[in-house]
Amino acid sequence: MTVGELDAGRLRGALAGEGLDLETGPFVTRIRSTLDSVRRGLQTLYADFPAAEGSGFADFHVRVAASGGVRRWFRPQARFFVDGRSIFKPLARHQAFPMLEWGLNWCVAGYAHHYVMFHAAVVAKRGRAALLAAPPGAGKSTLCAALVSRGWRLLSDETALLDPETGLVHGMARPVSLKNESIDAVRAFAPDAFISPPCRDTVKGAVAHMRPPADSVARMREPARPAWLIFPRFEPGAATRLSFRDKGSAFMRLVTQSFNYAALGRTAFERTADLLERSRTYDFVYSRLDDAVETLGRIEPPAR
Amino acid sequence: MNRRPADPLSAVLAQPRLLAGLDLAGWDVVVRRARETALLGAVAHLARESVGWDAVPERPRRHLSGARRVARGNALALAWELECLEEPLSRLDAAPVLLKGAAYVAAGLPNAAGRIANDVDLLFPRDRLPRVESLLGWKGWVSSHLDAYDQRYYRRWMHELPPMRHARRGSTLDIHHNIVPETFAVHPDPARLLEQAVPVPGWPAYRVLCPAHMVLHAAAHLFSETEWDLALRDLYDIHCLAGCFAARDGEQFWLHLLEEAEALDLGRLLFYALRHAARRFATPVPDEAAARLRLAGPGPLRLAVLDAAFDGGFRPRAASSTGGRDAVARGVLFLRGHWLKMPPWLLARHLFHKAILARAKDRDGE
């Protein structure tokens, strides 16, 4: 059963009751919420994801709820709970769905220590993965959205999950988060993609989400072998520029983008070094999305 | 009277073999509660030791394996930090005493497996503190609270210096001269702790508290707390330590423990600690010891109220059906903790400063 196949009544019932078990790649999240915007967001953006009424084991337990008291009516707010604990400051009610997305990222970054985690988008082609590692604002999600609307498979727009046992990268195929100008840029580049109506005035400005390609969702349990590590940077008006970066500095840079490098100690060091050894490492400057996609479409994978 | 409150996490910590019988819904509650109380590493360790990794279904097992890796990384980092500290601290006339997490790891005690320690705690004689601070200063350790009020708060009223932070490594160090605040309701004599401290095999530069004092410190720390988020973990420490020392030293351990509890004026806190460890984890306390400790305990009415508060404080929030009641219990424990920590006039002065003066200063700084 997928979210889209559940009728509105059952979906609402699950969210209001025991919770909806939403499967995203290696994780099951039990979501509870009585807010309509949350249900609508799930229905449209997660339509192709497997879901079930909550039971058994879930990796994360979250709830998005309306604030009580006077905030129920006056400047209404939404709050986000993980295992009954509120982890963010309340936000304006209309931001409930983006709040769920941020909350899910928080759960993964805080709890999925069975992976070495990097703040990176991951896309794959023919089983080989490209990690696009960059701090927020560097244009990583925009580039990711462009690539997945031109045949690359989406693994993640936010978090690369490196399995320390296998050296493979897992993703969740969750919706791609777009901010401000990049919403229109992706709309123009991929007119067929479904992009949710922007949610304005968040801490990150206007935020919208792109529904992941159905094929990426169907294959979300499939990991990929890392082949390229790319540090992208959007620079207005710049010509597309792909240049090699030496592996030593790539290593140091990637480590600054990890959520749990220090916590995992030696495991993280060894697995990150393996990843670097087996990948080609690049800096990538872009401004025009079609040039960028074409350039990255031509890069060759390293030998296995 | 010693009925154990129903909590699947406490149940499996008390009897790890029960892990083999958990279904997925059972694992769901255990993993969430263990994660919340920083006991996931302990559960992972017990699962491997008692029922084997294969007895754990794959989904929960991933979380346990992650917790194991994090705990191993933490233990290595802690050992490295202790090695770095050996050199500057070796210039003192007596080996410093490791407390809490660092002591458990260095001494290889059973609760160290899977446990996370966020800082290194060390105990020194009070008159050595200036020298300690200066030795550490040369090695890059700096005091983290630079505000004059905070400095005075720590130095006059607390049992430790403001936490020190290593400028490059970012690790934190708590330098103690006692195990409870200066302003606390009872005053254990730190000289007694230092005199009876024992060497740690494999770590010649350090000592740890003797078994009785280690348990008493854990009890004093937990039952004087204002924050109860990790209370279950701290109670599990007490359970493991008492169990391990009793198995090793038998009656000697219990006799020494009771004697020291009386000498250090910590009988009542030890009474609460062992009572609740027994309620939750079935820690085997000999009848004689329990009877003698009961004399240090409070009257029946007060005990009933505090038992209810402590039970609420120990209950994890995840998958809880008593959330509202437990929040009230935590509120009571918060107030009780502050009451014990400071006499009311001092508390009022401290809160006044934090609420009015410190905030006004923050505003000016902006």
Residue B111 has pLDDT above 70, yes or no: yes
Residue B5 has pLDDT above 70, yes or no: no
pLDDT of B58-88, one tens digit each? 999 999 999 999 999 999 999 999 999 999 9
- Mean pLDDT in residue range A223-251: 96
User: What is residue A145's predicted lDDT score, i.e. its pLDDT?
Assistant: 97
B3 in any annotated domain: no
Residue B180 or B71, more confident: B71
Place B281 in a pLDDT band, splitting at 50, 70 and 90: very high
Q: Is A85 in CB contact (< 8 Å) with chain B?
A: yes
Least Cα separation, residue A69 to chain B (angstroms)? 16
Residue B2 has pLDDT above 60, yes or no: no
Mark B94-105 as b/e (b = at least 16 C-beta within 10 Å). Answer: ebbbbbbbbbbb
Contacts of B320 in chain A (CB under 8 A): 84
Least Cα separation, residue A236 to chain B (angstroms)? 34
B84 in any annotated domain: yes
Q: Is A266 in CB contact (< 8 Å) with chain B?
A: yes
Nearest Cα to A97, choosing from A44, A140, A137?
Answer: A44
Query: Which of A263-267, B28-32, B90-94 is the most confident on average?
Result: B28-32
Residue B351 has pLDDT above 90, yes or no: no
Residue A37 has pLDDT above 90, yes or no: yes
B206 in any annotated domain: yes
Residue B353 has pLDDT above 80, yes or no: no
Residue B358 has pLDDT above 70, yes or no: no
Residue B125 has pLDDT above 80, yes or no: yes
Q: Name the residue ranges covered by the structural domains of chain A.
A: 3-111, 116-298
Place B355 in a pLDDT band, splitting at 50, 70 and 90: low
Task: Answer whether B28 sits within 8 Å of A263, measured CB to CB.
Answer: no
- Phi/psi of residue A180, each to 5°? 45, -120
User: What is residue B296's predicted lDDT score, i.e. its pLDDT?
Assistant: 92
* Alpha-carbon gap, residue A219 to B118, rounded angstroms: 39
- Mean pLDDT in residue range B15-36: 95
Q: At what angle do helices B287-294 and B267-281 cross, to 10 degrees?
A: 130
Place A158 in a pLDDT band, splitting at 50, 70 and 90: very high
- Mean pLDDT in residue range A42-60: 94
Give this complex's ipTM.
Answer: 0.91
Whole domain around residue B146: which residue ranges? Answer: 8-365
A residues 228-257 near B, CB within 8 Å? Answer: none
Cβ neighbourhood burial of B18 (10 Å; 0-12, 13-18, 19+): middle
CA B140 to each of CA A26, B137, B165, B172: distance values in angstroms, whole numbers, following the listed order: 43, 5, 8, 11
Least Cα separation, residue B9 to chain A (angstroms)? 15
* CA nearest to A84 within chain B: B318
* Alpha-carbon gap, residue A105 to A95, rounded angstroms: 16
- Mean pLDDT in residue range B90-109: 94
Mean pLDDT of chain B: 88
- Mean pLDDT in residue range B191-199: 96
Mean pLDDT of chain A: 94
Task: Answer whether B77 sits within 8 Å of A265, measured CB to CB.
Answer: yes
B residues 41-60 near A, CB within 8 Å? Answer: 57, 59-60
* CA nearest to B169 within chain A: A262
- Mean pLDDT in residue range B113-131: 93
Least Cα separation, residue B26 to chain A (angstroms)? 8
Residue A294 has pLDDT above 90, yes or no: yes
Please provide the distance, in angstroms rounded to a whole number, between the alpha carbons at the two ends of chain B.
Answer: 56
Number of A–B residue contacts, CB under 8 Å: 70
Residue B356 or A200, more confident: A200
* CA nearest to A29 within chain B: B28
User: What is residue A203's predicted lDDT score, i.e. its pLDDT?
Assistant: 84
Question: Which residues have CB under 8 Å from B292's CB, separation 6+?
Answer: B258
Least Cα separation, residue B179 to chain A (angstroms)? 28
Which of A32, A85, A114 to mutate to test binding with chain B, by most B CBs within 10 Å of its CB? A114
Contacts of A164 in chain B (CB under 8 A): 69
What's the order of all strands across the beta sheet hosting A205-210? A176-179, A205-210, A199-202
User: What is residue B1's predicted lDDT score, i.e. its pLDDT?
Assistant: 38
User: What is residue B148's predicted lDDT score, i.e. its pLDDT?
Assistant: 75
User: What is residue B365's predicted lDDT score, i.e. its pLDDT?
Assistant: 46
Place B4 in a pLDDT band, splitting at 50, 70 and 90: very low
- Minimum mean pLDDT range among A39-43, B176-180, B209-213, B319-323: B319-323
User: What is residue A272's predicted lDDT score, i.e. its pLDDT?
Assistant: 97
Task: Answer whether B31 sits within 8 Å of A57, measured CB to CB.
Answer: yes
User: What is residue B359's predicted lDDT score, i.e. its pLDDT?
Assistant: 64
User: What is residue A304's predicted lDDT score, i.e. its pLDDT?
Assistant: 62
Task: Answer whether A83 sits within 8 Å of B31, measured CB to CB.
Answer: no
Question: Which residues have CB under 8 Å from A159's CB, separation 6+?
Answer: A105, A108, A109, A117, A118, A119, A120, A172, A259
Contacts of A32 in chain B (CB under 8 A): none
Would you tell me how many other CB atoms lie within 10 Å of the CB of residue B210?
21
* CA nearest to A266 within chain B: B73
Least Cα separation, residue B31 to chain A (angstroms)? 9
B66 in any annotated domain: yes
Residue A117 has pLDDT above 80, yes or no: yes
User: What is residue A68's predicted lDDT score, i.e. its pLDDT?
Assistant: 77
Least Cα separation, residue A286 to chain B (angstroms)? 35
Contacts of A267 in chain B (CB under 8 A): 69, 72-73
User: What is residue B185's predicted lDDT score, i.e. its pLDDT?
Assistant: 78
Task: Answer whether A260 sits within 8 Å of B70, measured CB to CB.
Answer: yes
Contacts of A260 in chain B (CB under 8 A): 70
Contacts of B36 in chain A (CB under 8 A): 83, 85
Task: Answer whether B25 sits within 8 Å of A114, measured CB to CB.
Answer: no
Task: Answer whether A57 sits within 8 Å of B65, measured CB to CB.
Answer: no
Contact A248, A153 (CB under 8 A): no
* Number of structural domains in chain B: 1
Residue B285 has pLDDT above 90, yes or no: yes
